[in-house]
């Protein structure tokens, strides 16, 4: 559930410990703001990375001093209209590409990338198809433990609620 003006910062997001750089940044739309816990604008702040309009292929780069293990990447744009037609995620370990995935065509507000198995990486790049009107609000990089928790929560939400036993149903007739 989204509550305007409230941050949902998850401390398990591995990007909180990454060095984040961008190919370009508009004033007020710094790259680091994708990890501030907001997935939409709040007040006068966009809480999003806004690449410059003249940046033909905007790119975010994430780097760690030591490799991190992950198996889920989620990117969230403020609206479907502010999402690009294409997004590509590449993961690197010691300069060698260990994962690449591209999503094309259909604009969506939220995209998820699932490697086949948990991956270790010390750098990740996120390339967007164009910068015209792009507003990237949030990026999450998660590990097995967090994914398992989310899958359990999703499975529990699908289960039917138990039928309560009301006190007068337990009473014995006299």
Q: Is the pLDDT of residue 8 over 70?
A: no
Give percent of the chain above pLDDT 90: 21
The pLDDT of residue 146 = 66
User: Do the bridges between strand 59-70 and strand 119-128 make them parallel or antiparallel, or are there none, so unpaired?
Assistant: antiparallel
Residue 131 or residue 115, greater confidence: 115
Q: Are 147 and 114 in contact (CB under 8 A)?
A: no
The pLDDT of residue 1 = 42
Between 49-63, 73-87, 113-127, 146-160, the lowest mean confidence (pLDDT) is in 146-160
Average pLDDT of span 28-45:
77
Q: Are 127 and 57 in contact (CB under 8 A)?
A: yes
| 45 DSSP 8-state letter | B
What does the pLDDT look like over 90-118, one tens digit per residue? 999 999 999 998 887 666 667 777 777 88
Q: Is the pLDDT of residue 39 over 90?
A: no
Residue 126 or residue 118, greater confidence: 126
Q: Are 124 and 92 in contact (CB under 8 A)?
A: yes
The pLDDT of residue 78 = 77
Q: Where are the domains of the chain?
A: 14-160
**To the nearest whole number, what is the mean pLDDT of the chain?**
80
For 14-160, CATH number?
A: 2.60.120.260
Average pLDDT of span 72-79:
81
What does the pLDDT look like over 41-69, one tens digit per residue? 677 777 788 888 888 889 999 999 999 99
User: What is the rounded CA–CA span in Å between residue 16 and residue 55?
Assistant: 25
């Amino acid at each position: 559930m989204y509550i305007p003006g409230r941050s949902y910062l998850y401390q398990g997001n591995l990007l909180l410990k990454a060095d984040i750089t961008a190919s370009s940044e508009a004033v007020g739309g710094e790259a680091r703001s994708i990890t501030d816990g907001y997935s939409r604008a709040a007040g006068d702040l966009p809480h999003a990375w806004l690449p410059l309009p003249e940046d033909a292929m905007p790119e975010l780069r994430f780097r760690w001093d030591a490799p991190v293990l992950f198996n889920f990447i989620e990117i969230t744009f403020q609206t479907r209209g502010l999402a690009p037609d294409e997004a590509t995620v590449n993961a690197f370990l010691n300069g060698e590409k260990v994962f690449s995935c591209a999503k094309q065509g259909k604009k969506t507000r939220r995209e998820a990338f699932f490697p086949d198995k948990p991956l270790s990486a010390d750098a990740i790049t996120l390339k967007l198809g164009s910068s015209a009107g792009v507003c990237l609000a949030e990026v999450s990089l998660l590990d097995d433990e967090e994914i398992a928790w989310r899958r359990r929560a999703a499975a529990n939400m699908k289960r039917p609620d138990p039928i309560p036993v009301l006190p007068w149903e337990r009473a014995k007739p006299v």
